[in-house]
A and B are shown apart, each in its own frame.
Chain A
Amino acid sequence: MPPKPETWLRVTPNGLYCVPGDFFVDPVLPIERAVVTHGHSDHARAGHRHVLATPETVAIMRRRHGADGTTTYQALAYGERLRIGDTTLGLLPAGHVLGSAQVMIDHAGSRVVVSGDYKRRPDPTCPPFEPQSCDVFVTEATFALPVFRHPPDEHEIEKLLHSVRVFPERAHVVGVYALGKCQRVISLLRRAGWDRPIYVHGALDGMNRLYEELGVPLGPLLPATGPSKKELEGQIILAPPGAVNDLWARRLPEPVAAMASGWMRVRQRARQRGVELPLVISDHADWDELCRTIEEVAPGEVWVTHGREEALIRAASLMGIAARALNIVGYEEEAGA
């Protein structure tokens, strides 16, 4: 009889701790050994002694946190296995951002998969989520309410391009997260045939360059600071969410404030943020994807974290799957998710 997962995988103030492997998954405070699912800052904190992650996530963390010498990195590619203590560990694609992984931990005949953040729809910038059967599936729940249904990406990109056609004398500035969302929006625009240069805010440069180095082509990009107002008419500009409605945007010709985020699905939320063109593009699973994933993975039990736990627990129980909330503190409700 294999040990029950709750006896060897525990919630601590530092985050989720694997007892037989003596490591944390996405710890929220600096610790000795961390396994990191992906490069977003609330999952990939600085200051750990040893970090294990996919090669891409290692590259992202190195770029983010610099080589301060306190952290040593170990890369584990998708599909490889590694013994750590009394566990076997593997990383599986999560489809969230470049390098994002689910952490699969086998111990004494039982298996837990920690999803990290994930989504199920195709993303040109990273490999798709791989469902893996397991005893316990730890899932995120950022958009775990039935109101969150992300429309097809092409539909949202077409909405942006339509607005550019209707307002050709204005600049369209789209608020995007630097890691993942930015490159995905660029790739989606390229797929929709937008081959003109895309103008980017300086804060997005580093990650764009890294994506290209890691083999994700983004096409012609130009800095958004420099060109005259006239040159920026009819152009698409990407900027961090905070810059879209602030001083920075004053350099642009009559900017249309757009935002690419799953939160844009709810009109009141979008309006509160002063968004004129909400684009429902998210790197997180929507409600249907969350439910479908639980159904496909068909775990013995679901642990829910990182979002709106209660609704997803309710949905799992309606499917006849036992579910409970993991109360890990420290993950943010990302505004630009």
Chain B
Amino acid sequence: MNRFAELLDSLVFTPSRNGKLRLIREYFATTPDPERGWALAALTGELSFREVKPAQVRDLAMRRIDPELFGWSYDFVGDLAETVALVWPDRSGEGHAPRLSEIVETLRAAVRADATSLLEAWLDGLDGTGRWALLKLVTGGLRVGVSARLAKTAAAELGASNVAAVEEVWHGLEPPYEALFAWLEGRGPRPETGAAPTFCPLMLAHPIEEGELAALDPADFAAEWKWDGIRVQIVARGSGKRLYSRAGEDIGGSFPELVEALPDDVVLDGELLVVRGGEVAPFNDLQQRLNRKTPSLKMMSDYPAAVRLYDMLEERGEDLRGLAFRERRARLETWYRAAPRPRLDLSPMVPFESWDELAALRAQTRANGIEGLMLKRVDSVYVPGRPKGQWWKLKRAPLTVDAVLMYAQRGHGKRSSFYSDYTFGAWRDGELVPIGKAYSGYTDEELLRLDRWIRNNTTNRFGPVREVAPGLVLEIAFDSVHRSTRHRSGVALRFPRIHRIRWDKPASEADTLELVESLLT
């Protein structure tokens, strides 16, 4: 456990993805089975045991420390698990330090009454970092900024494999994944997943700008709308039915009405949306559903979920991924029409002859829920990842607004010496109101110049944040504007990024909040 705890501790502090990846890979490479397998399960959120309640942890701590001292400590630290880990009298030299595998296996078998006495003995055996990790783990609060996908990527890199290969077998496996590690390290065969409803890693598109289309032959491509939801995969195989996110997470729990309606024996690629009366609702509505682990009946009727289908990867056990897109699409249409398909519909193809025609079509379409256009080579086979030259994503031209820089914050990792995170605002009655934050969209040279400007125009400092004089205009590009109660301005931008830095433009000529509101979707 102590090694795993050290890993978690360093992950908390390591800002960069590559840094995290390196730390996890190193841990997998130097930790034996089954310990590393349980660690992989913990990092991918696959552990399940009866969790210990925070109140139980608190009671346990009270048996060891004066309540007054505990109270001051908790006030200072502000996090229960961390406070208890720190104030617990250290006996780590004397007690037995449990392994992660021992903790998980014991807790899985434990009844609630045992859990606290087990926990007490373990806390006595571990050091401060170990106690912190243990308490986070057993209270279900393990958040170290690592996605399941990143952990799988680290495992894949143990061998010459990639994350898609791991995702493909993942849902047929159980912790502690000894067969998976054996395969990745070249000591065993690819794990058999049989008829389990496993995830097929997605094929993704490259972004393309209109100007670049001229180099491509329109006859080679089919076009379809890219809907503004989240990309999902439906897998129905044997008796299992799953709804997977793009990263291969099973999100079916949040959409029980949809999972219930899924057809048999098919693997489909589509967009998860909230659809009311055939109309796609704004992305925000879908967000309401994504935030809920178990939705209420009211949620399900107010925000009805549906999947708009793009592609078909498997039908009655037959793997279609080796077929051309044109043929897969035909199979999809035939299948779709053969029976009623509640909560599913077909994303229509967009016929066109020339790029100009397509551009015109796109310009006219301001339909709800359309994020852009997808171009797929008609002969493209379905390959996980982002193969070159197969699929393109033609995005709708972004909206832009001229905003004024208000606050700058230091970045993380490589950017920790730079003020690289920017809060910008728009004018309302002669006053600036913050409307968003951007962290990207500038070059290294621009970052240097921005950083210098911020240091020279600081009016106030709060820890890592500097307030600056209203003197720099940033042209911000974003995908859409939504109402938000969390921001003082009442609006929130989707995907804001710096489009241009308007060194030339006086701050007084920047845009007003009123203008931003007029772009509300």
Binding site for B on A (CB under 8 A): 145-149, 151, 159, 163, 166-167, 245-247, 249-250, 254, 257, 265-268, 270-272, 274-278, 288, 308, 310-311, 314-315, 318
Chain B residues with CB below 8 A from A270, complex form: 13
Distance, CA A167 to CA B23, complexed state (A): 9
Q: Do B13 and A278 touch across chains, with their CB atoms under 8 A apart? A: yes
Q: Which of B6, B14, B76, B414 contacts A147 (CB 8 A)?
A: B76
Q: Do A254 and B414 touch across chains, with their CB atoms under 8 A apart? A: yes
Distance, CA A147 to CA B68, complexed state (A): 13
Q: Do A266 and B416 touch across chains, with their CB atoms under 8 A apart? A: no
Distance, CA A244 to CA B220, complexed state (A): 55
Chain A residues with CB below 8 A from B79, complex form: 267-268
Q: Do A272 and B463 touch across chains, with their CB atoms under 8 A apart? A: yes
Residue among B10, B13, B413, B414 with the most chain A CB within 10 A? B13
Output the least CB separation between B63 and chain A (Å): 14
Task: Decide yes or no whether B109 CB sits under 8 A from chain A.
Answer: no
Q: Do B417 and A145 touch across chains, with their CB atoms under 8 A apart? A: no
A266/B13 contact (C-beta < 8 A), A250-B417, A272-B463, A274-B412 known = no
Chain B residues with CB below 8 A from A288, complex form: 90
Q: Do B86 and A271 touch across chains, with their CB atoms under 8 A apart? A: no
Distance, CA A149 to CA B12, complexed state (A): 20
Chain B residues with CB below 8 A from A310, complex form: 72
What are 12 A-to-B residue pairs whose CB atoms are below 8 Å?
A145-B73, A149-B90, A166-B23, A167-B19, A257-B416, A267-B13, A267-B82, A268-B78, A271-B13, A274-B412, A311-B73, A315-B69
Q: Which of B65, B66, B86, B463 contacts A149 (CB 8 A)?
A: B86
Output the least CB separation between B44 and chain A (Å): 21
Task: Decide yes or no whether B22 CB sits under 8 A from chain A.
Answer: yes
Distance, CA A151 to CA B464, complexed state (A): 28
Q: Do B417 and A245 touch across chains, with their CB atoms under 8 A apart? A: yes
Output the least CB separation between A215 and chain B (Å): 34
Residue among A151, A246, A276, A277 with the most chain B CB within 10 A? A276
Chain B residues with CB below 8 A from A149, complex form: 86, 90, 128
Chain B residues with CB below 8 A from A159, complex form: 6
Which chain B residue has the least Cβ–Cβ distance from A268? B78
Q: Do A151 and B82 touch across chains, with their CB atoms under 8 A apart? A: no
Q: Do A147 and B66 touch across chains, with their CB atoms under 8 A apart? A: no
Given contacts A270-B13, A274-B410, 5 further A-B contacts (CB under 8 A): A145-B72, A146-B70, A146-B73, A166-B26, A314-B66
Q: Which of B76, B127, B410 contacts A151 (CB 8 A)?
A: B127
Q: Do A266 and B77 touch across chains, with their CB atoms under 8 A apart? A: yes
Q: Which of A268, A274, A311 contacts B69 (CB 8 A)?
A: A311
Task: Decide yes or no whether B290 CB sits under 8 A from chain A.
Answer: no
Output the least CB separation between A148 and chain B (Å): 8
Q: Among residues 58 to 87 in chain B, which have CB atoms less than 8 Å away from a CB atom of chain A? A: 65-66, 68-70, 72-73, 76-79, 82-83, 86-87
Q: Do A268 and B77 touch across chains, with their CB atoms under 8 A apart? A: yes
Distance, CA A250 to CA B418, complexed state (A): 9
Chain B residues with CB below 8 A from A166, complex form: 22-23, 26
Task: Decide yes or no whether B140 CB sits under 8 A from chain A.
Answer: no
Chain B residues with CB below 8 A from A247, complex form: 417
A246/B417 contact (C-beta < 8 A), A145-B73, A166-B23, A167-B19 known = yes
Chain A residues with CB below 8 A from B66, complex form: 314-315, 318
Contact with A along B250-279 (1 / 0, CB 8 A): 000000000000000000000000000000
Distance, CA A249 to CA B87, complexed state (A): 35
Distance, CA A268 to CA B75, complexed state (A): 13
Chain A residues with CB below 8 A from B218, complex form: none
Q: Do B417 and A275 touch across chains, with their CB atoms under 8 A apart? A: no
Task: Decide yes or no whether B441 CB sits under 8 A from chain A.
Answer: no
Task: Decide yes or no whether B15 CB sits under 8 A from chain A.
Answer: yes
Distance, CA A271 to CA B10, complexed state (A): 12
A275/B128 contact (C-beta < 8 A), A167-B19, A268-B79, A315-B69 known = no
Chain A residues with CB below 8 A from B87, complex form: 146-147
Q: Do B417 and A266 touch across chains, with their CB atoms under 8 A apart? A: no
Which chain B residue has the least Cβ–Cβ distance from A163? B10
Chain B residues with CB below 8 A from A265, complex form: 86, 128
Q: Among residues 410 to 425 in chain B, which have CB atoms less than 8 Å away from a CB atom of chain A? A: 410, 412-414, 416-417
Q: Do B13 and A276 touch across chains, with their CB atoms under 8 A apart? A: yes
A276/B413 contact (C-beta < 8 A), A266-B86, A267-B82, A311-B69 known = yes
Output the least CB separation between B23 and chain A (Å): 6
Question: Sorted from nearest, which 6 A-B pairs have the closest CB atoms?
Answer: A147-B86, A146-B87, A147-B73, A245-B416, A274-B416, A249-B417
Distance, CA A268 to CA B65, complexed state (A): 22
Distance, CA A311 to CA B71, complexed state (A): 10
Chain A residues with CB below 8 A from B15, complex form: 276
Distance, CA A145 to CA B414, complexed state (A): 34
Chain B residues with CB below 8 A from A275, complex form: 13
Output the least CB separation between B146 and chain A (Å): 15
Q: Do A311 and B22 touch across chains, with their CB atoms under 8 A apart? A: no
Which chain B residue has the least Cβ–Cβ distance from A315? B69
Q: Do A277 and B76 touch across chains, with their CB atoms under 8 A apart? A: no
Distance, CA A246 to CA B15, complexed state (A): 17
Chain A residues with CB below 8 A from B14, complex form: 276
Chain A residues with CB below 8 A from B83, complex form: 147
Distance, CA A151 to CA B70, complexed state (A): 20
Which chain A residue has the least Cβ–Cβ distance from B132? A267
Contact with A along B1-39 (1 / 0, CB 8 A): 000001000101111000100110010000000000000
Output the least CB separation between A258 and chain B (Å): 10
Chain B residues with CB below 8 A from A246, complex form: 417
Residue among B26, B69, B413 with the most chain A CB within 10 A? B69
Which chain B residue has the least Cβ–Cβ distance from A159? B6
A274/B86 contact (C-beta < 8 A), A146-B69, A151-B127, A267-B12 known = no
Q: Do A147 and B77 touch across chains, with their CB atoms under 8 A apart? A: yes
Which chain B residue has the least Cβ–Cβ distance from A152? B127
